[in-house]
């Protein structure tokens, strides 16, 4: 019985990373940026990414929904993050240009054109 319980625990621990990754923004700048097209505020904190209404209501919480393939990097344009969210059915790339206070949001959506917007610092 103990072996069965141990085997089940090992299986669940091995499965956990495949289900959802944590959000560690590393060197990506924290703060909030406004997507004026959708009147939505993207909020980046040390351990989460959320989409808020301008009034502060949570519209979507990536920490709760879970993300996959989360990466933080630095390119010629500046620091960026990329990730996928199965619950939202989309992949995301957010770049923070070094020479601007804005951030660039790019979303890949199935069967829809790529969405790209420059978001103003809030």
List per-residue pLDDT tens for the chain, 122 residues long.
444 333 333 333 333 333 457 888 988 999 999 999 999 999 999 999 999 999 999 999 999 999 999 999 998 889 999 999 999 999 999 999 999 999 999 999 999 999 999 999 99
Tell if the pTM clears 0.85, that is, is over it: no
Strand stretches in 13-121, DSSP E = 31-35, 40-45, 48-52, 58-61, 68-75, 78-85, 90-95, 103-108, 115-121
Query: Looking at residue 11, what is its pLDDT?
Result: 38
- Ramachandran sector of residue 56 (left: φ over 0; alpha: ψ -120 to 50; beta: rest): left
Q: Which residues pair with 71 in a beta bridge?
A: 82
CB-based contact 28:116 (threshold 8 Å): no
Residues contacting residue 73 through CB under 8 Å, at least 6 positions apart: 79, 80, 81, 82
Query: Looking at residue 75, what is its pLDDT?
Result: 87
Which H or E run contains 107? strand 103-108
Query: Looking at residue 20, what is its pLDDT?
Result: 57
Among residues 97, 95, 90, 96, which one has the least CA distance to residue 111?
90
């Amino acid at each position: 019985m103990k072996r069965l319980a141990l085997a089940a625990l090992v299986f669940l621990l091995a499965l956990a990373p495949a289900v959802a990754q944590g959000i560690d923004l590393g060197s990506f700048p924290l703060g909030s940026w406004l997507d004026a097209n959708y009147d939505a505020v993207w909020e980046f904190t040390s351990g989460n990414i959320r989409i808020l209404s301008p009034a502060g209501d949570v519209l979507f919480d990536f920490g709760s929904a879970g993300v996959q393939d989360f990466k933080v990097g630095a390119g010629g344009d500046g620091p960026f993050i990329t990730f996928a969210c199965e619950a939202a059915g989309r992949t995301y790339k957010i770049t923070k240009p070094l020479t601007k206070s804005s951030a660039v949001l790019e979303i890949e959506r199935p069967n829809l054109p790529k969405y790209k917007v420059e978001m103003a610092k809030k």
